[in-house]
């Protein structure tokens, strides 16, 4: 099959990222380093674009993952929920090199869910009476106050899945799912980096976590670093 | 003697009803899990995990099975994993019975400040605002005063707010306190802590 939902599997990261342009809004899956599309993240740096707006929960950590985009100086703005120990972002925010929009995590993901679902804005109780309320419409429903939040659209979503078939039906592993499926729904072009690529039918329809309608390009990357952020254990 | 962090975690665990669904915040609240009897409650982690278990045995760590503090964890039988939108729907939708959260300031009105220090490095909001405004009940855990001795139980928060009128109980190293609107009701004091000590350490009337 050819056409938009025809042959989605591409042979290289460079081919997958061919539509990437300066100034685009890029959504990148992951909670910290967990569930990062590692090869696509590297590929964006190698491509040499600039002035990107990055939507990501953390924008990297420990110098890894999306912190490499910050080091490469290709980001103009970050929309995230948490900076934490990401020193690469702290320094660039302090110097004014990168503009940072901090959003409550549930609002961040719901803004993208709304974008993917064709909803332009929604009311949420999160952030009422805080700095998040500033400049936003507030409305009372049934005696409780809510903020109006706008949908957040992306040009390209970079997502990571454990398993993918040729149509782009996805399965995720454990907490690596996080923002990945919602980001795939919120961008004009969604590229998945999968650990395992299977034939159509290789995932039972009832076991699909994200239907392939939200995926436009597939790159198969069997090997990943899967870095630990904080390895915590108990004794046997 | 003040409560140790272990005492505080043990005390917080007693606030968790059997069969309830609970989110434990990053830092001190995470330790509360150590004092819960096995099978007592279901733990939710906002990165997309329900039925969170203890830290894994050495050698069993999975970098893609983590809690909201990005520490490696396990999942118990009956547990599930899901995307961030579903996870925050559980929180915002009022399906999580209780959140136990770290705090920087709590006001007599139950306002919570726990994400930024004025003039300090901004760490970000993360899931704090959603948890504080979405969970059915919110308990705050913190040291009673700052390292410089400044009050943290106050009449009005001057740190950036996380949510308004949400905290129903505060557990500190000096005891357990309930915001009542005009002051803090003393539920209990740590052994050997005098009422005068608690009054001196609190920036609002104790009742």
Q: Give the tens place of pLDDT for each residue, A53-80.
A: 999 999 999 999 999 999 999 999 999 9
pLDDT over threshold 90, residue A1: no
Domain of B48, CATH number, reads 3.40.1080.10
Q: Note whether B46 and B23 are within 8 A (CB).
A: yes
- Would you call A113 and B134 a contact, using CB atoms and an 8 Å cutoff? no
Q: Domain limits at B158?
A: 5-200
Considering only CA atoms, which of B133, B42, B134, B46 is closest in space to residue B94? B134
From chain B, the residues in CB contact with A211 under 8 A are none
Fold for domain A22-102+153-220? Glutaconate Coenzyme A-transferase (3.40.1080)
User: Model confidence at A32, in pLDDT bands (50, 70, 90)?
Assistant: very high
Whole-number pLDDT of residue B122: 87
The rounded radius of gyration (Å) of the Cα atoms in chain A is 18
Contacts of B60 in chain A (CB under 8 A): 233
> Cα separation of A79 and A152, whole Å?
10
Residue A236's pLDDT is 87
- Which of B130, B135, B160, B162 to mutate to test binding with chain A, by most A CBs within 10 Å of its CB? B130
d(CA A190, CA A212): 10
CA distance to partner chain B, nearest, from residue A35 (Å): 7
What mean pLDDT is reported for chain A?
Answer: 97
Question: What is the pLDDT, as a whole number, of residue A2?
Answer: 81
pLDDT of residue A88: 93
Nearest C-alpha neighbor of A111 from the set A91, A97, A126: A126
B151 is a domain residue: yes
Residue-wise pLDDT tens digits, A157-174: 999 999 999 999 999 999
Q: To 5 degrees, how large is the angle CA A190–CA A191–CA A194?
A: 135
Instruction: Among B83, B90, B96, pick the best mutation site for testing chain A contact (most A Cβ within 10 A).
Output: B83
CB contact under 8 A, B47 and A175: yes
Residue of A nearest to B157 (CA): A130
User: What confidence category does residue A119 fall into, taking pLDDT thresholds of 50, 70 and 90?
Assistant: very high
Residue A120 CB-density burial (10 A; 0-12 exposed, 13-18 middle, 19+ buried) = exposed
Residue with tokens 């081919």: A15
Chain B's closest residue to A34, CA to CA, is B64
Report field, pTM of the whole predicted structure over 0.90? yes
With the CA atoms of B62, B68, B74 and B79 taken in that order, what torsion angle do they form, in degrees rounded to the nearest 10?
Answer: -120
B148 inside domain? yes
Interface A-B: count of C-beta contacts within 8 A: 174
ipTM above 0.95, yes or no: yes
Confidence category of residue A181, pLDDT binned at 50, 70, 90: very high
Give the distance from CA B197 to its chain's centroid: 24
B83: contact with A, CB 8 A cutoff: yes
- Lookup: tokens for A55: 């939507």
> Which of B:119-178 have CB within 8 Å of A?
121-130, 133-134, 160-164
The domain spans of chain A are 22-102+153-220
User: So what's the pLDDT on residue A3?
Assistant: 83
Tell me which residue has tokens 């436009």: A216
Give me the tens of pLDDT residue by residue for chain B, a chain 207 residues long. Answer: 899 999 999 999 999 999 999 999 999 999 999 999 999 999 999 999 999 999 999 999 999 999 999 999 999 999 999 999 999 999 999 999 999 999 999 999 999 999 999 988 889 999 999 999 999 999 999 999 999 999 999 999 999 999 999 999 999 999 999 999 999 999 999 999 999 999 999 999 999
The reply to whether B150 belongs to the active site is no
Does any domain span residue B207? Answer: no
Residue B88 is predicted with a pLDDT of 98
Q: What three-state secondary structure class fits A23?
A: coil
* Pick from B48, B85, B91: CB nearest A175: B48
Contacts of A220 (CB under 8 A, 6+ apart): A9, A164, A194, A196, A197
3-state class (DSSP) for residue B189:
strand
Residues of B in contact with A228 (CB under 8 A): 61, 63, 72
Residue A196, number of CB atoms within 10 A of its CB: 15
Cross-chain Cβ contact B127/A34 below 8 Å: no
In a domain, B205, yes or no: no
B81–A contact, CB cutoff 8 A: yes
Question: Per the structure, how many domains does chain B have?
Answer: 1
Q: Percentage of chain A with pLDDT > 90?
A: 95
C-alpha separations of B145 from A42, B158, B197 in Å: 45, 14, 12
Out of A31, A83, A105, the one facing B123 most closely (by C-beta) is A83
Task: Tell whether the model's pLDDT for residue A225 goes beyond 90.
Answer: yes
């Amino acid at each position: 099959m050819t056409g938009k939902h025809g042959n989605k599997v591409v042979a290289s990261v460079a081919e997958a990222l061919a539509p990437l342009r300066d100034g685009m809004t890029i959504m990148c899956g992951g909670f910290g380093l967990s569930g990062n599309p590692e090869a696509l993240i590297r590929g964006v740096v190698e491509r040499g674009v600039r002035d990107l707006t990055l939507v990501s929960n953390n924008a990297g950590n420990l110098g890894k993952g999306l912190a490499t985009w910050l080091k490469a100086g290709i980001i103009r703005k970050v929309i995230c929920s948490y900076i934490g120990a990401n020193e690469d972002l702290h320094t660039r925010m302090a110097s004014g090199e990168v503009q940072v929009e901090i959003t409550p995590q549930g609002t961040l993901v719901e803004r993208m869910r709304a974008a993917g679902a064709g909803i332009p804005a929604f009311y949420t109780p999160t952030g009422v009476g805080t700095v998040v309320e500033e400049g936003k419409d507030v409305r009372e429903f049934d005696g409780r106050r809510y903020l109006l939040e706008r949908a957040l659209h992306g040009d390209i979503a970079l997502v990571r899945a454990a398993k993918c078939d040729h149509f782009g039906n996805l399965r995720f592993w454990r907490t690596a799912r996080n923002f990945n499926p919602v980001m795939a729904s919120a961008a004009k072009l969604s590229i998945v980096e999968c650990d395992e690529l299977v034939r159509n039918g290789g995932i039972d329809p009832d076991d699909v976590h994200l239907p392939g309608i939200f995926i436009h390009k597939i790159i198969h990357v069997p090997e990943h670093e899967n870095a630990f952020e904080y390895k915590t254990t108990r004794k046997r | 003697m003040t409560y140790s962090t272990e005492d505080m975690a043990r005390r917080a665990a007693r606030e968790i009803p059997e069969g309830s669904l609970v989110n434990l915040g990053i830092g001190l609240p995470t330790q509360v899990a150590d004092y819960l009897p096995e099978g007592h409650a279901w733990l939710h982690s906002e990165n997309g995990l329900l039925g969170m278990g203890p830290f894994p045995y050495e050698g069993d760590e999975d970098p893609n099975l983590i809690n909201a503090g990005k520490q490696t964890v396990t999942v118990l039988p009956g547990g599930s994993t899901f995307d961030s939108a579903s996870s925050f729907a559980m929180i915002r939708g009022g399906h999580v019975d209780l959140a136990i959260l770290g705090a920087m300031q709590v006001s007599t009105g139950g306002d919570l400040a726990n994400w930024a220090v004025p003039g300090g490095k901004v760490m970000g909001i993360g899931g704090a605002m959603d948890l504080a405004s979405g969970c059915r009940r919110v308990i705050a855990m913190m040291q009673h005063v700052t390292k410089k001795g400044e009050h943290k139980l106050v009449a009005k928060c001057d740190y950036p707010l996380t949510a308004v009128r949400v905290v129903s109980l505060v557990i500190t190293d000096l005891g357990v306190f309930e915001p009542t609107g005009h002051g803090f009701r003393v539920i209990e004091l740590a052994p050997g802590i005098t009422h005068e000590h608690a009054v001196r350490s609190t920036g609002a009337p104790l009742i």
